[in-house]
Amino acid sequence: GEKVEQHESTLSVREGDSAVINCTYTDTASSYFPWYKQEAGKSLHFVIDIRSNVDRKQSQRLTVLLDKKAKRFSLHITATQPEDSAIYFCAASMVNSGGSNYKLTFGKGTLLTVTP
């Protein structure tokens, strides 16, 4: 089955700097790559995703890059703020022939700390 590896278990940046979290996956059939944020004491919250038909997607300060050849995707956060501090999980999934039924495989998470 699919395996997702999240390379940084912890990441510390200064407020205003950029943060990059990297993930790799093993199954070439995976085509959907979401990211989730878990703040202290809270559940997972969807932040951004990318599908395999594009290699870049941006939403405000978040950008996701996808390199299908390397089976690698990354989350870039610019102008970090203390409220960006959280655990970030990457995930990968195949999409079935009907275009649905996402069955996600998660990475172990990266604890991002943004210091003022």
Partner 1 sequence: DTTVKQNPRYKLARVGKPVNLICSQTMNHDTMYWYQKKPNQAPKLLLFYYDKILNREADTFEKFQSSRPNNSFCSLYIGSAGLEYSAMYLCASGYEQYFGPGTRLTVL
Residues near partner 1, by CB under 8 A = 4, 6, 34, 36, 42-46, 49, 89, 100-109
CB nearer partner 1, residue 5 or residue 15: 5
CB nearer partner 1, residue 68 or residue 108: 108
Half-sphere CA count of 59, side-chain side, radius 13 A: 9
Smallest gap from Cβ 50 to partner 1, in A, equals 13
Separation CA 38–CA 47 (nearest Å): 10
Q: Is 82 helix (H, G, I), strand (E, B) or coil?
A: helix
Judging by DSSP bridges, how do beta strands 32-38 and 44-51 pair with one another?
Answer: antiparallel
Smallest gap from Cβ 84 to partner 1, in A, equals 19
CB nearer partner 1, residue 22 or residue 109: 109
Smallest gap from Cβ 17 to partner 1, in A, equals 25
Separation CA 69–CA 50 (nearest Å): 15
CB nearer partner 1, residue 13 or residue 111: 111
